[in-house]
Structure 1
Amino acid sequence: MERFDYVIVGGGSAGCVLAHRLSAVPSLRVALIEAGRDTPPGAVPAAILDSYPMPVFCGDTYIWPELKASATRTAAPRVYEQGRVMGGGSSINVQSANRGLPRDYDDWAANGATGWAWQDVLPYFRKLERDVNFPEGELHGGDGPVPIRRILQADWPPFCHAFADGMRKNGFASLQDQNGEFGDGYFPGAFSNLDDKRVSTAVAYLDEQTRRRRNLHIYPDLRVERIVMEGMVARGVVAVARNGAHVRFEANEVVLCAGALQSPALLMRAGVGARDDLSALGIDCMIDLPGVGRNLQDHPSLTFCHFLERRYRMPLSRRRASMTAARFTSGVAGCDASDLYLSSATRAAWHALGNRLGLFFLWCNRPHSRGRVQLVSPDAAVPPRVDLNLLDDPRDVARLAFGVRMLAKIVEASGLSHDPRDFFPAAFSPRVKALSRVGTRNAALTSMLGVLLDTPAPIRRALIERFFTGGQKMSALLADEHALESSIRANVFGVWHASGTCKMGDVNDVMAVTDNAGRVRGAQGLRVVDASLMPRLPSANTNIPTIMMAEKIADAMVARRYPGAASSTTSSTVVGR
């Protein structure tokens, strides 16, 4: 049994940042525990480095295969892909480097998360990034650990230009920097990638020099079963290895970086949560915090495909498929501007079938619906119940309906096809996921299906209706409001941006789980630093905002112990010392 100043649970987007920043102080002993495998320099699997993420995402090597979520109140639970590998979500995601909008963070501060307004967080967005396209100026950083780049319009393939034409003809403005121009429009998507290789937080923050620090100890393939509590004081954690052996770590402070589904579950098993819920499972409540596991948010999302003529297809050797995206406004009452996000990919999957299909992702920014994470057993081997409740608020349904209609107009104006039947809804179903697993059988099957798509148009469209849409036609959905709503409810899913389940906030907010530096209310030696803290989901993929939060809180943690030892990032932005 070893003792550390900090034991970090989870080597994901936040955990790697904290391990790097805290261990930079030689007097601090830091342990980083990750349930999945390590990816040290020179040994990062090719599937993780790949610019095209779907093969690694659709497998079960780097995720929690038993973790499931229900998209809506009536939907059956489905696997909800969360990273179980060093780097966490940053090792399996689409590598989007989207910050969100200034209003997202100003809203955090206005609703109790003091110190987290846009001007407070901007220095940490700059600190984390090495922006390849915009390295200078007040909005971007040029020497941070995470490289961020874009594929600019001059290098777009024909599909992207057609998509841009459709948006321009529908009044969308052309923007160059989604992280520096904050209105509606279309733009080259920013992503955390260099030399056409993924840069996860494991790559960016756990480099060779960091790993050589004698005060940093990295423990992969260890799953933390429980937090050791003595009353309201966290003393350490107990973890289990793949061979079943148990290991105990003593800590002055336990820092949960296990993500918005696992961090609240760990708290609840430790007796931190709603008293009645814990008592019903036979768990002694140490700290009564009803907000633990509540306020769960994800972006409600839909996917659509378009058959691509040969001139719009991209060689499989060109790995980066997602290059263009857009923000726009639904105008639904009670919703904000720029409340919809649309991204496109020149390839729907890694195989021959996917290469004949363009892919569109549509989601609601700043969703109004809220879900919940609940324990179903005190046993750490039993995953929590996850109810996303994506469409509980009718405004989210109305916004998606507007977005579908707008997407149809964009596609119609794009010139991708002369027949609207080549554009169709495509649910990211278990069947599609199974077909997306890399293997010789799927390669052969999808090659055959791909050939069939190149048959004459009537046969192709019959195949699409038979195998992809179940007879559902876009024209029918667009003509019938009730049919469109039913289709949205049947096909909506979360886009893997779980957040908010241990939200930070003001001391007077009974649903706030932590203070504004992630310290669990009522506890000693216990902190949360991951997407769980987000009071409200930003208008962005969660990876870059989570890294920003870890950078900011790490600065506060170091400054609290060693005033003057924190980074040169402006001291006015350091919270919760």
Structure 2
Amino acid sequence: MSDYDFIIVGGGSAGCVLANRLSARAANRVLLCEAGPDTPVGEEPPAILDSYPGTAYLNPGFLWPDLMVTTEGVASSNSAAPPRARKYEQARIMGGGSSVNGQFFNRGGPSDYDEWAARGAAGWDWDSVLPWFRKVETDLDFDGPLHGKDGPVPVRRIFPDAWPGHAKALAEAIAEQGYRYLPDQNGPFEDGYFPIAISNRDERRVSSAMAYLDDATRRRANLHIRSDATVSRLVFDAGRCTGICLVRPDGQEEQHRAGTVILSAGALQSPAILMRSGIGPAAHLAENGIELRQNLPGVGQNLMEHPSIALAAFLRRASRLNGGPSRRHIYVGWRYSSQIGGAPAGDMFVAGVTKTSWHAVGDRIGTMLMYVNKPHSDRGAVRLRGADWRVNPAVDFNLLSDNRDLDRLTDGFRRMAAVQLSGAMQAATANPFPASYSEKVRQIGMLSRKNKLLTDALATLLDGPAPLRDFLMRRVVAGGPGLHELLADPQALETFVRGACVGVWHPSCTCRMGAADDPLAVLDPQGRVRGIGGLRVCDASIFPVIPSGNINFPTMMAAEKIADSILSGA
């Protein structure tokens, strides 16, 4: 007899949903395993509860250590040198990304899910997934057929009357470009600007752990939660997955058996666990000395992200947050259609960031963060560096592998520049500069007393005489070519975009669902791993293509849908 009916590997956005729904049936014995710390009710770290996420998503205690990725494609490099490796923040804590992310809660567009169905994920078209989106949420602002009112996750918006000066100026400038105000980001998927929809109530984050692992759920006798415990591999009996090997914090191994194991470890870790367990591309497993159990060439392939660039500026005093009614740092979003390379409507997105980091310099820098909502570049991959579970996988996003994405970002940069150079934005900001998430920026953004002292001193100088600010912005804060230099030189602009382009922490599609005759489909439309009994995957890795928006809400929707499929016997 198995120890459990279900073992869920990963307590992230999907895993918490699955744990709640599967354990709601008292006969089901459920084990939820999370590699990071737990966040029990009433014991959530203040940084995670905070409406401002900047002290959570760079906290090493909440992240996978030493995870490095490449974002720049080999073809985009001007030399024979390999692409640069960058740090990549991925949550390792109960609630996963929903515990550290920016709390954006949007669905993407209906055409995203119709495309899923067209690519072989039968039953995942827009009309089929909308009920599961509605089941997740309680929309605090809007009603109607596009919104749920009884779900565990509250969704709200901060409307323009409460926006800080920078957000108001940005909205005015976008309106001058001909875009209309849309009060509901999760309403009809149209071009315009809008208040960002967030998973937040009463100025507090609501993660999947807070929403789905509440006190009542945690008290269920049939639900067992193990945190700070890493699953190193899967256990099999012939062609069936029968359990997991769990490594405790003291390094000791345990094995637990289950009728069904569900991988919900995310788009980077779930394929790595499959490959370490012998499920994946045969040649790659052989290179790493792993015995082949099931040849599935698509495992770890099709990795997708949203390629992004940014344009930043110094914030004049009146346009900063200045202790307003919310600690939120992003208020306004802008969605538009590039009409480049046959792109679908709403293929581009810009977030107005009024505070770029937790420190004093971050208070003084505002940013337009642009990303390709619907990228064409889909040739990234997750590969093993060996059979040892303690070694992070190699992750190559290969962003901008399709020149249409490069064209959209260079065009988008010019559009952001037109907004930045408007009268409204010049009144709110000064010293605009092309921005990138460089290693220097990442290091100064890490929480430390040294960084606080350095940024306090620099911020004081930035608020000094304009000539001093101009010098510091050029030499210390910005660096590199200026805005007008890039606008005047197409080659320089392309070079900037290639070098500055990074992802926005939306990895997906590495164990995608698909039709039975699709050789690269890892899963069937119920999340079952092809050729292996008793094993499913449910997280952002199952998406056939990345949605046109942040992936947290779609991941939770997918978990609701797959949980229902399991409970109904499918």
TM over 0.5: yes
| 1:76-475 equivalent positions in 2, closer than 5 A | 76-134=84-142, 136-316=143-323, 318-370=326-378, 371-413=380-422, 415-417=424-426, 422-475=431-484
Aligned-pair identity (%): 48
Give the 3-state SS of the residue equivalent to 1:331 in structure 2: coil
Mapped partners of 1:153, 1:131: distance in 2: 18
| CA 1:320–1:420: 2 relative to 1, 3 Å | closer
| CA 1:2–1:440: 2 relative to 1, 3 Å | farther
Task: Report the CA distance between 1:438 and its aligned residue.
Answer: 2.4
Contact map agreement 2:355 2:365 (CA 8 A) in 1: yes
Alpha carbon RMSD of aligned pairs, Å? 1.4
Mapped partners of 1:14, 1:414: distance in 2: 44
Contact map agreement 2:179 2:192 (CA 8 A) in 1: yes
Give the counterpart letter for 1:499 in structure 2. S
Mapped partners of 2:270, 2:304: distance in 1: 15
1:527 counterpart residue number:
536
2:44 counterpart residue number:
44
| 1:22-61 equivalent positions in 2, closer than 5 A | 22-61=22-61
| CA 1:420–1:312: 2 relative to 1, 3 Å | closer
Task: Report the CA distance between 1:88 and its aligned residue.
Answer: 0.4
Give the 3-state SS of the residue equivalent to 2:351 in structure 1: strand
Moved over 4 A (4+): 418-421
Give the 3-state SS of the residue equivalent to 1:314 in structure 2: coil
Contact map agreement 1:316 1:350 (CA 8 A) in 2: no
Contact map agreement 1:2 1:248 (CA 8 A) in 2: no
Bigger mean CA deviation after superposition, 16-25 or 136-145: 136-145
Contact map agreement 1:421 1:474 (CA 8 A) in 2: no
Task: Report the CA distance between 1:439 and its aligned residue.
Answer: 2.8
Mapped partners of 2:192, 2:51: distance in 1: 25
2:13 counterpart residue number:
13
- Find the partner of 1:484 among 474, 490, 493: 493
Contact map agreement 2:318 2:428 (CA 8 A) in 1: no
Task: Report the CA distance between 1:419 and its aligned residue.
Answer: 11
Give the 3-state SS of the residue equivalent to 1:482 in structure 2: helix
Contact map agreement 1:531 1:542 (CA 8 A) in 2: yes
Contact map agreement 2:10 2:263 (CA 8 A) in 1: yes
Task: Report the CA distance between 1:463 and its aligned residue.
Answer: 1.4
Give the counterpart letter for 2:68 in structure 1. K
Give CA-to-partner distance per residue, 1:196-228, whole Å, 9 cap, x none. 000000000000000010000000010000001
Give CA-to-partner distance per residue, 1:333-388, whole Å, 9 cap, x none. 22122111000121111121111111221000111112000011000011100000
- Aligned positions, number: 560
Give the 3-state SS of the residue equivalent to 2:496 in structure 1: helix
Task: Report the CA distance between 1:2 and its aligned residue.
Answer: 6.8
Mapped partners of 1:411, 1:350: distance in 2: 23
Task: Report the CA distance between 1:547 and its aligned residue.
Answer: 0.2
Give the 3-state SS of the residue equivalent to 2:128 in structure 1: helix
Task: Report the CA distance between 1:503 and its aligned residue.
Answer: 0.2
1:62 counterpart residue number:
62
Give the 3-state SS of the residue equivalent to 1:389 in structure 2: strand
Task: Report the CA distance between 1:418 and its aligned residue.
Answer: 5.9
Mapped partners of 1:179, 1:343: distance in 2: 15
| CA 1:80–1:471: 2 relative to 1, 3 Å | closer
Task: Report the CA distance between 1:399 and its aligned residue.
Answer: 0.4
| 1:538-557 equivalent positions in 2, closer than 5 A | 538-557=547-566
Bigger mean CA deviation after superposition, 428-437 or 244-253: 428-437
Task: Report the CA distance between 1:458 and its aligned residue.
Answer: 2.9
Give CA-to-partner distance per residue, 1:90-121, whole Å, 9 cap, x none. 00100000110101001111121110011000
| CA 1:352–1:16: 2 relative to 1, 3 Å | same
Contact map agreement 2:155 2:198 (CA 8 A) in 1: yes
Give the 3-state SS of the residue equivalent to 1:58 in structure 2: coil
Contact map agreement 1:316 1:355 (CA 8 A) in 2: no
Bigger mean CA deviation after superposition, 120-129 or 461-470: 461-470
Normalised TM-score (structure 1): 0.95
Give the 3-state SS of the residue equivalent to 2:6 in structure 1: strand
Structure 1 unaligned spans of 5+: 561-576
Give the counterpart letter for 2:516 in structure 1. V
Contact map agreement 1:126 1:139 (CA 8 A) in 2: yes
Give CA-to-partner distance per residue, 1:226-272, whole Å, 9 cap, x none. 00123321010011111111111101111000000000000001111
Give CA-to-partner distance per residue, 1:436-477, whole Å, 9 cap, x none. 122322222111111121233332222122123324101010
Give the counterpart letter for 1:458 in structure 2. P
Contact map agreement 1:163 1:414 (CA 8 A) in 2: no
Contact map agreement 1:175 1:181 (CA 8 A) in 2: no
1:506 counterpart residue number:
515
Mapped partners of 1:115, 1:335: distance in 2: 24
Structure 2 unaligned spans of 5+: 74-81
Contact map agreement 1:184 1:338 (CA 8 A) in 2: yes
Task: Report the CA distance between 1:143 and its aligned residue.
Answer: 1.4
Mapped partners of 2:263, 2:106: distance in 1: 24
Task: Report the CA distance between 1:316 and its aligned residue.
Answer: 4.9
| CA 1:419–1:476: 2 relative to 1, 3 Å | farther
Contact map agreement 2:314 2:430 (CA 8 A) in 1: no
